[in-house]
Chains A and B, each alone.
Chain A
């Protein structure tokens, strides 16, 4: 790229795709498994679809995306994929029924939209032979996407008390990534962007080259960062860190002025699963008959009105709005990079990370926004180019050395979301679990086949207990009993395995039960704790 076409700065769009590992083969249907199906339907498959269109049209795009190990495992699980197919079939039947029910009503056009939309989702699902990870791998290999990993089961590393347990999560993340993507990961998304001094040592040991922080993780670093959050920094050992830009985050995330609140966008909280007559909708619900979100929604945000005053959703109008917002976002980034390039004397990088599920699940039009954004950036201007972390480091290899500030991207910027009066009880159990796992790893150097299975399952149980999702859910108060149950179940299982191993009385039947239910990381090797 010569000087006349070099951009003034760069936009690094990062989508963090994660769901906790939820798999309940003991039940034919399980409400919390719907999290995966909704995200597949509304986020992951639409993203694959839009990447496909961009590839077909030769649109240059550089997107960074986390696919966490638990998510990769669930997307590769035969049972869960089969259940998603069932979920999709159910919706397809509902959409056809809705088309008939709403004929000659103001809702007819919207109903027809869903029939077509679901058809597109099905096409993408089958295009990748139901293996979504393979789809993302394809686009990474094509140079359109950089997929990064995440800390094991999405563990907040600063809340581990042993270095070995924290390192085990990163080791498993690397191992799992290599299994799914046929190469080692270059970058990692620390769960919740939770960083503490020393994490970079573990990352370097595991071959990771960069990670992400919230804004103050770099802005509060020692010494002051010359370029603020608009350039990466190096930790003393050479691992790089990128920090979130506040301005671009606010335009999307803000509940008050963010794009998703536009009156023409689809209203999340009016869903046919709650709006339709009981007798009509019952066949489409779970067998327990409890009403739930089904994903077919006929109303738009409208404005600050009550739910029963929401107006009818018009998909074409919403799509136009997404195009406008993409143009607005791009314009704002152009202004931003021009200003920063002049002030900094170096092309800035605007790091814009979001939960992937915001695009599509919470903000239905989000994937359209992303597609328009990439097209507009590619064809409508030259100030801003999209870039991945590895490409930016290759172009700008000289960076400032700092000691980042321990931080998270959670509310208030530190650990309060995961450590407060509602959830602090879990840590004495998790920490004791770490000690037990280390003890087991050190005392079983040459285990028998059965013992090895038990050791590996103990490691899985501990890692599953350490997922940050449980503490987060307890804080937000949404599905608290489930989060508490998951924590206790995994600790109970770990304790049971620990006692059986130390007392040399393994119960193979019980072990097999645990293995068949908590199946994450088939490649688990307990020696990651050594």
Chain B
């Protein structure tokens, strides 16, 4: 569908969304000084007095990157996050204690290749990726709409020795669903509002609860029609049928 009114001329301008700060220059207290430009030895005059030919590099500016935090937390963990339909992110920590335990069971552990196994928990399909244990995190290719579990371990010959198991995640969709079956809902409170009711029991009760006098009159006339029909049937069939007396 086209809209005939044109938008203003295309001008490349502000980015779609940027960080809130508008400052053009880097913030904080640090100022980055340009390195000193050294003259070519051919251009420079001979120094009048003996001076060191090598100038010390300029001092690095101090940039406050925050208070110290540990790199690791001394806990064995393997955790996974689904980043998008095609990638999952895993990070891990394998404690020294765990390594020692493994070393006591497996000879030459340091020579064994470490891997992350990505398991499709719906099909059982596995995908093994060699990793460097010291990296402590990895991005693994995945498929959309798929549940996964990750396992961190190493190869002992042809056997994968599982050391840690992750949480389970499901990658999101990247296409319109194949399913077209529809289900519709109205919230209870909205239904009650439409029916002008406070509680479901107001639908029932002793006698006939009516939302309004008009509704009573409508029901009364409907009842009259029903009774007349019954009476007609009785007249056709004979007088044995009891027709309820009209109140």
Docked CA distance A427–B18 (Å): 22
Residues of B within 8 A of A407 (CB): 172
B65 touches A488 (CB 8 A): yes
User: Of A197, A291, A473, which is within 8 A of B25 by CB?
Assistant: A291
13 CB contacts below 8 A, A to B, read: A224-B176, A259-B7, A262-B9, A268-B22, A339-B1, A398-B186, A406-B82, A419-B83, A479-B21, A479-B23, A489-B66, A489-B67, A492-B66
Alpha-carbon distance between A357 and B25 when the two chains are bound, in angstroms: 20
Size of interface on A: residues with Cβ below 8 Å to B: 99
- Interface presence of B160 (CB below 8 A): no
Interface contact B69-A301, CB-CB below 8 Å: no
The CA of A220 and the CA of B10, in the complex, are separated in Å by 31
Which A residues lie within 8 Å of B63 (CB)?
Answer: 481
- A159-B81, A290-B25 are contacts. A259–B183 as well, Cβ < 8 Å? no
Q: For A332, list chain B residues within 8 Å (CB).
A: 3, 5
Q: Which stretch in B42-50, B85-93, B208-216, B233-241 binds the other chain?
A: B85-93
| Contact of B172 (CB < 8 Å), options: A38, A251, A406, A425 | A406
Given contacts A161-B79, A291-B25, A414-B84, 5 further A-B contacts (CB under 8 A): A274-B24, A304-B12, A401-B184, A424-B89, A489-B66
Among B82, B136, B176, chain A packs the most CB atoms within 10 A around the CB of: B176
Contact (Cβ within 8 A) A259 B8: yes
Interface size class of B (residues with CB under 8 A): 35 or more
Asked whether A167 is an interface residue with its Cβ less than 8 Å from the other chain, the reply is no
Please pick, from B10, B14, B91, B190, the residue contacting A257 in the complex, using a CB distance under 8 A.
Answer: B10
Closest chain-A Cβ to B19's Cβ sits at a distance in Å of 4
Summarize B's interface: helix, strand, loop or mixed: loop
Q: Are B7 and A251 in contact (CB under 8 A)?
A: yes
Q: For B11, list chain A residues within 8 Å (CB).
A: 256, 261-263, 301, 303-304
Q: Does B228 contact A (CB under 8 A)?
A: no
Contact A288 B3 (CB under 8 A): no
Q: How many Å from the CB of B238 to the closest CB on chain A?
A: 49
Known: A288-B29, A414-B172. A399 touches B21 (CB 8 A): no
Interface flags for A430-469 (1: CB within 8 Å of B; 0: not) read: 0110000000000000000000000000000000000001
Chain A, residues 30-53, CB within 8 Å of chain B (1/0): the string is 011011001100000000000000
Q: Is the CB of A428 within 8 A of B26?
A: no
The answer for the CA separation of A130 and B26 in the assembled complex, in Å, is: 31
A93 located at the interface, meaning its Cβ lies under 8 Å from any Cβ of chain B in the complex? no
Report A399 CB to chain B, min CB distance, Å. Answer: 6
Residues of A near any B CB (own CB < 8 A): 19-20, 31-32, 34-35, 38-39, 158-159, 161, 197, 219-224, 226, 234, 238, 251, 253-263, 268-269, 274, 288, 290-293, 301, 303-304, 321, 325, 328, 331-332, 335-336, 339, 355, 357, 361-363, 393-394, 397-401, 405-407, 411-416, 419, 424-425, 427-429, 431-432, 469, 472-473, 476, 478-479, 481-482, 484-489, 491-493, 495
Q: Is the CB of A38 within 8 A of B22?
A: yes
Tell me the B residues contacting A by CB distance below 8 Å.
Answer: 1, 3, 5, 7-30, 63-70, 73, 75, 77, 79, 81-85, 89, 91, 93, 136-137, 167, 170, 172-177, 179-187, 190-191, 193-194
Do A221 and B177 touch across chains, with their CB atoms under 8 A apart? yes
Does the CB pair A220–B174 fall under 8 Å?
A: yes
Top 8 A-B residue pairs of the complex, sorted by shortest distance between their CB atoms: A488-B66, A397-B190, A261-B11, A414-B84, A223-B179, A492-B67, A485-B66, A261-B13
Residue ID in chain A nearest B187 by CB atoms: A238
Q: Tell me whether A31 and B12 are in contact (CB under 8 A).
A: no
Cβ contacts under 8 Å, A221 to chain B: 177
> Among A222, A336, A416, A479, which residue has its beta carbon within 8 angstroms of that of B26?
A479
Contact A398 B184 (CB under 8 A): yes
B16: chain A residues within 8 A (beta carbon): 253-255, 411
Q: Smallest Cβ distance from A147 to chain B, in angstroms?
A: 20
The complex places the Cα of A328 from the Cα of B6 at a distance, in Å, of 8
The residue from A261, A412, A476 contacting B19, defined by CB atoms under 8 A apart: A476
